Chains A and B, each alone.
Chain A
Amino acid sequence: MRFSMIQGLILAIASLGPIGAMAGSYDLVIDEQIVNITGKDKKAMTINGQFPGPTLHFREGEDVTINVTNRLDVDSSLHWHGLLLPYQMDGVPGLSFDGIKPGETFSYQFPVKQSGTYWYHSHSGFQEQEGVFGPIVIEAAKREPFKVDREYVVMLSDWSDETGEQIFSNLKAQSDYYNYSQQTVGDFFDDVKASGWGAAFKDRLSWGSMRMMPTDIADVSGYSFLMNGKAPQSNWTALFEKGERIRLRFINGSAMSYFDVRIPGLEMTLVQSDGNNVQPVTVDEFRIAVAETYDVIVRPREDKAFTILAESVARTGYARGTLAPREGMAAEVPELRERPLLTMSDMSMASMGGMDHSNMAGMEGMDHSNMAGMADMKGMDHSNMAGMADMKGMDHSKMPGMENMEGMDHSKMAGMAGMEGMDHSKMMMGASSANSDYAPGSGLAPEAANGGKFLVYADLKAQVPFANYREPDREIELRLTGNMERYFWSINGIKYSDAEPVHLKLGERVRIKFINDTMMMHPMHLHGMWMQLDKGNGRFNPLKHTVNVAPNTTLTVDVPVDALGQWAFHCHLMYHMAAGMFRKVIVEEAVVETAAQ
């Protein structure tokens, strides 16, 4: 009798064990099948027969095993985007492991150490573009600091009738292949009508001198934008009862497309970014960079339908769904807003192609963050630069390289002549919108459709201060660079295949200073470790896995280096990554210096 009691106790303890360290097991099969998303049959890659892949529900604290079987005829992989895990489980072929060969199964096993909204995707070839991606929702171990009645994942993606290989080779062969919004002779005469011959001509000359296009917002067009795998006409619908709090977990799983997201008629209370809780901030609209996630809470108080609208930033289309009290309802879908045009403010000094860079050795030390409008060019006629108020406050003493610029041969700076043609009126308008994430006067800075609050990065303040917040031990400068015309992308002017890895030491805190020398936005993603986005909120700076770096701006993040191994660090625009905007990061044990004597 007594024996059986002990036995029972042992059994009870044994059964408690798995609760302490829960173990979830998941089987995923990557395959190909014909899908019809836009009314046209096309081969897609699927996970467990679904497009996008199924939502994986993990619980914080559990040990998960995910058996991934590859039924494609090429190598595949799955990467758990934003998850903190042993690097061998990170799913990047060539860095974490060898990839999953056709017909083989790889078992990912790792403890889940966090909670929130994340996603997963293939890190092989262009498979993510073709369907190998899905959401991850991790239930928090502790009670969350907000209450909701229901929740939905809203996964945004871009879908092309072409394969990733085709798109990439087209971009390589002709970088403006997909830009069917180029400025025409007709646009020129419209500009003449609006601002006169002189201004219109100067504008064309200034862009022409750089061989750049103000219409170059996104590299790829022809996409259909999907919400949870559904085209706008299929109207993905999320049900609610009026008065309920609904959590929407937005994930941008696109290959190339940023979105501006709004729900006309509803305010959104943003509570989480990249899986981490932030102090609630109420916005009318937000921009979601490729690979970012944002969780918002909405509370419709009326028994009617609301449109969830995600316009692509280049305004080539939108993903759309509906929040509705009943199936089959729809609200008005607003017209696409006007396509943005880049301005001269989006051009960094370095991207001004007309300049002879060989003469610019001394410019290395220049702080581009202070150079919003390039007023520091000594040879320029400052009297023409009415719109450049921000430059007045520039601290030239911080620009050690500037002395050398006086020695620069301005006659060789063909591109600079075009600066006189800057559209100052646009610059002033842009500056008044004062979006701190974009260069003053940038044509890309968004404004809320209803004139209300548009989220900026500075609004993101961590819910709890970061425990290990301190001054960084050192700084690494990463210039985001590229050759638009030939379509290759790089960091510090060097493509992945030619670059040395970035070496970090375990335990150090490294400041990474991104300087965007290109005219495009880049969503920079670090695997395996957080980036603490520095927007001046100190220890409340939020932790993110992906940060958007706008053209001609500098963005700093601090990385608490806390994970050994080899990690990928790259632009999450798929074709930029493929074209070389990628680095391997190696984290090693800090060598403890022993006393010499």
Chain B
Amino acid sequence: MTAKKTACASALLLGATLALSVSPLASAEMKDDAIMTKFMLDRFEVRHQDGDDLLSWEAQINTRTDYQGLAFKTSGERLRNGPTESAEYQLLYQRLVSEFFDAQFGIRYDNQPGPSRTYAVAGLQGLAPYWFEVDANLFLSDQGDASARIEAEYDLLLTQRLVLQPAAEITVAFSDDEEIGVGSGLSKAEIGVRLRYEISRKLAPYVGINWEKSFGDTADFARAEGEDTEVGSVVIGVSAWF
């Protein structure tokens, strides 16, 4: 199921790429408006925690010129022995709106246990002052529920190759969507610290710790389902791009 969705999204991305590439060849000798594709596996990790270990991923593919293009994002979690706890796919049009930021618009599809959701997405992704990598998004679900999520990461160079990366993610819901266990207000926060070693710029294994907590009504819904509202884990994984 997951693979099928991914393939579907990839096909869409490819189609759109082909559409984009019909640009004038006036400057055939110059590469300054070429379309570049970058696959980023930001996190691919095993989270060792109470109960079953969890496999977690976060990846993004950009296909774009300097000024605009497409982004495909996916993230999710799967218990070692199944099932997939959550899986999220976004297909976005992105456009450079300042020196360091892209505005992104598109759709998000969540395929989780229980009812799936489709969202409209509007967001900003880029490098904020003081070197924070930021991805901030607003979501409006097909149920009419709005939510916002902001993720930020910071690279602290211990050496040229050993990098300590604190990261945080906060989700706020503007209304209840009890079916998928989301309550209005600050719903979820996640904080992690990962220490990676860049074997090359393109490949870096890492270890770290991660802490997740749900709040307010979201926490109440989780308790009602018999789930933990707070999970700490030790992670081991790899990040890569090409």
Which chain A residues have a beta carbon within 8 Å of chain B's beta carbons?
Answer: 92-94, 99, 123-124, 168-170, 172-174, 177, 180-186, 205, 208-211, 353-354, 414-415, 483, 485-486, 488, 495-498, 578-580, 582
Contact = CB atoms under 8 A, between A and B. Distances in A.
Contacts of B96: 486
Interface of B: 26-33, 36, 38, 66, 96, 99-100, 127, 129-131, 156-160, 201, 241
A232 to B, nearest CB: 23
B157 A173 contact: no
A185 B158 contact: yes
B127 A485 contact: yes
Given A488-B66, A497-B30, A497-B32, A354 B129 contact: yes
A582 B26 CA distance: 14
A185 B157 contact: yes
Contact of A483 (B33, B99, B130): B99
A497 B131 CA distance: 30
B155 to A, nearest CB: 9
Contact of B29 (A94, A173, A182): A94
Contacts of B201: 170, 174, 177
A94 B27 contact: yes
A414 B28 contact: no
- Majority DSSP secondary structure for residues of B touching A: loop
A168 B30 CA distance: 12
A181 B160 contact: yes
A496 B36 contact: no
Nearest to B161: A180
B34 to A, nearest CB: 8
B158 A184 contact: yes
A498 B23 CA distance: 12
Given A173-B241, A182-B157, A184-B160, A414 B32 contact: no
A582 B36 contact: no
14 contacts: A168-B31, A173-B36, A181-B160, A182-B160, A184-B157, A185-B157, A208-B130, A211-B127, A211-B129, A353-B100, A486-B66, A495-B32, A497-B30, A498-B33
Nearest to A498: B33
B193 to A, nearest CB: 14
Interface core residue of B30, B33, B38 (most chain A CB under 10 Å): B30
A353 B31 contact: no
Nearest to B24: A497
Given A172-B36, A495-B66, A124 B129 contact: no
Contacts of B129: 208-211, 353-354, 414-415
Nearest to A213: B131
Contacts of B127: 211, 485
Contacts of B32: 488, 495-497, 578-580, 582
Give the one of A93, A172, A173 with max B CB within 10 A: A173
A497 to B, nearest CB: 4
A486 B96 CA distance: 10
Nearest to A483: B99
B189 to A, nearest CB: 24
Contacts of B158: 184-186
Contacts of B100: 211, 353, 485
Given A182-B157, A211-B130, A354-B129, 17 more contacts: A92-B29, A94-B27, A94-B28, A170-B201, A173-B241, A180-B160, A183-B157, A205-B130, A485-B127, A495-B32, A495-B66, A496-B30, A497-B30, A578-B30, A578-B32, A579-B32, A582-B32
